[in-house]
Amino acid sequence: MHRRTVLAALGGSLIAVSSCQQKRKSIVVGAKNFTEQRVLGEVIAQHIERRLSDQVSRRLSFEGTRLISDALTLHEIDVYTEYSGTEVRVVIDEAPAQDPAIVLERVHRHLEQTRVVTWLNPLGIENPFAISVPGPIAREHKIDTLEDAANYETGWAMSAISEFTNRADGYSSMMRNYRIPMRTTPITPDPAFLYRPLEDKRADMVAGRMTDGALAARDLVVLKDVKKAFAPNTACIAVRYDTLAEYPSLRPILSELSGKFTTNLMRQLNAAVDDKGQDPRVVAAGFLQSAGLQ
């Protein structure tokens, strides 16, 4: 082939490649497959759509922390919400400290080693493991802390999320710190039905998360973890560096969400989905409106 023809063909190829590179892909928002993550995923997705007017894709049903963390690293998604204690325990594979600031600092040091992902400032949600018992039992027997629960001679039957029973900073940490008497081995129902064994009288203690909607909708007392058996779990938005570079206004847009939540507010948003049957998309839109993020 003539040299000029080859150069012309090569030039056409470079133009085609350049055009493909200039064409923006959609921003992919991820979430794990439980209520809070779906709500937060929708909050992030809708907020980006309103501010950027760009196409946003959603993948809001990842089965676990490792899967969604890998998806972010491999650029299958661009952004999602993660929790500091979970990141340290599951991804970094270390025992989290008791101080929330130290746990967050450990996450940032880990991320700086790769410069692939960064975390933005906290949303305002603290979501550690939470042990709750029915209000009537707590009031009758003056049970306010996990230490009090350890002195309940009748013993407990627990319904727990599987994460609590499997993680070293969950059930084993609770038993090591408090030696709580158990009548039976903890049952681990589907997370959507975590609190149902209370109604069926198969359990009188639940191990869930501090932002569970049931804690807002039912007469339950969350027992104080006075010995700090459970790691801090601060919610932050995790986002890829290259996505922030491709969309220069994305960092300030996402940062608008930092500090806009509280643990109690997240509990109320979860209850709107779990107990009132509202669509997470509707709940997310309502939050953005109430937060003045229109």
Give 129-222's CATH code, choosing from 3.40.190.120, 3.40.1160.10, 1.10.30.50, 3.40.47.10: 3.40.190.120
| pLDDT given for residue 55 in this prediction | 85
Mode of pairing for the β-strands spanning 27-32 and 56-62: parallel
When pLDDT is averaged across residues 258-279 and rounded to a whole number, the result is: 97
User: Alpha-carbon dihedral of residues 104, 110, 113, 118, nearest 10 degrees?
Assistant: -50
Reported as a pLDDT band with limits 50, 70 and 90, residue 9 is very low
Instruction: Using the structure block, give the residue that is written with the tokens 């806009």.
Output: 260
Q: Given pLDDT bands bounded at 50, 70 and 90, which one contains residue 14?
A: very low
* Bridge partners for 205 per DSSP: 158
DSSP-derived secondary structure for 136-175 = HHHHHTT--BHHHHHT-TT-B-EEE-HHHHHSTTTHHHHH
pLDDT (tens digit, 9 = 90+) per residue, 45-87? 999 999 998 789 999 999 999 999 999 999 999 999 999 999 9
Quick: pLDDT tens for 87-124: 999 999 999 999 999 999 999 999 999 899 999 999 99
* Helices 35-52 + 280-290 axis angle, to 10: 60
pLDDT at 286 over 50: yes
Q: With 80 as the cut, is the pLDDT of residue 272 above it?
A: yes
As beta bridge partners, residue 72 has none
Q: What percent of the chain has pLDDT over 70?
A: 92
Closest CA relative to residue 235, chosen from 126, 148, 162: 126
Number of Cα atoms under 13 Å in the Cβ half of residue 273: 26
Per residue in 116-156, pLDDT (tens digit) is 999 999 999 999 999 999 999 999 999 999 999 999 999 99
- pLDDT tens for 232-263 read 999 999 999 999 999 999 999 999 999 999 99
User: With contact defined as beta carbons under 8 Å apart, do 99 and 85 qualify?
Assistant: no
Residues of the chain with CATH 3.40.190.120: 129-222
pLDDT of amino acid 24: 54
The confidence score (pLDDT) of residue 15 equals 35
CA 234 to centroid of chain Cα atoms: 9
Residue 292 has pLDDT above 80, yes or no: yes
Question: Which two tokens mark 93?
Answer: 């594979």
Integer Rg of the chain from CA: 23
User: In angstroms, what CA-CA distances link 223 with 144, 219, 220?
Assistant: 5, 13, 9
Cα–Cα dist 4/239, whole Å: 45
The more confidently predicted of residues 6 and 210 is 210
CATH architecture of 26-126+233-290: 3-Layer(aba) Sandwich (3.40)
Q: What 3-state class would DSSP assign to 226?
A: coil
pLDDT in tens, 190-229: 988 999 999 999 999 999 999 999 999 999 999 999 999 9
Give the residue range(s) of CATH 3.40.190.10 domains in the chain: 26-126+233-290
End-to-end Cα, the chain, rounded Å: 59
Residues in contact with 108: Cβ distance below 8 Å, sequence separation at least 6, in sequence order: 119
Q: What is the dihedral of CA 212, 218, 223, 224, to 10 degrees?
A: 60
Q: Which helix (H) or strand (E) holds 288?
A: helix 280-290
Closest by CA to 35, choosing from 290, 287, 267, 288, is 267
Residues in the chain: 294
Q: Return mean pLDDT, the chain.
A: 91
- pLDDT value at 7 more than 50: no
